[in-house]
Amino acid sequence: MTEQPTRKTLPRLDESLLTHLPPFSRLEKRQIRTILDQASSRRHEAGGTVFNEGDPAERFYMLLDGYVRVVRITPTGEQVTALHIPAGQLLGIARAIGRETYPATAMTATESIVLSWPTSLWDTFVAEYDGFATETYKTLGHRVGEMNTRIVELATQQVEQRVANAILRLINQTGRKVEGGIEIDFPITRQDLSELTATTLHTVSRLLSGWEKRGLVESKRKRIKVCDPHALVVLSQG
């Protein structure tokens, strides 16, 4: 069963929370108010489960704050991180791809706030709200494109290139400027990187240790900072 969130939030949410988000950016405030009034909001601690792979897709979700890891379970029971989703995106949109169950598990990488609606409202949102469908399918297209890029990388690139590309993608999606470089803005372990790049934990650890000695990255306490982005781009291109 899906893990229950740690506690309910929030008082009445303001419409401005959604006005800048692509699925709702073309809507009037009164329409957004109607959407929010039909939503449930929950706060999840880091490591919480939003929904589980294979569960009936009874709700769809909007990540309002935080980061989510999309995880698949292999036939042998291994956990593989497929994607990271930043705040401002829909997830659990099984209805959009013609599924009745969730194709993967969504786990919070940080403390997160998630809105959700019954899947029975999906067709109504698509039909009545301008831009909801087109922006949602753009998001799906980007995710499929990212997955296809990773498949090509697995087939054609050396491990060092794959790890460099994975870090660069995360920096582009979630990076924040800090002293001395750009940091991935959520906790990420070397095991997470090994899953993203289909390599071993030992190999990822060896690569990161070597890059640290060269001043390219810093890696500690589930945090990765890129100190020399240009050098990492060069590595990613082989």
Are 194 and 203 spatial neighbours (Cβ–Cβ below 8 Å)?
A: yes
Are 61 and 115 spatial neighbours (Cβ–Cβ below 8 Å)?
A: yes
Instruction: Kindly give the interhelix angle for 190-197 and 159-174, rounded to the nearest 10 degrees.
Output: 110
Banded pLDDT at 18 (limits 50, 70, 90) = confident
Give residue-wise pLDDT tens across range 97-143. 899 999 999 999 999 999 999 999 999 999 998 888 888 888 888 88
C-alpha to C-alpha distance for 42 and 61, rounded to whole angstroms? 10
**DSSP-assigned letter for residue 104:** S
Q: Model-level pTM?
A: 0.80
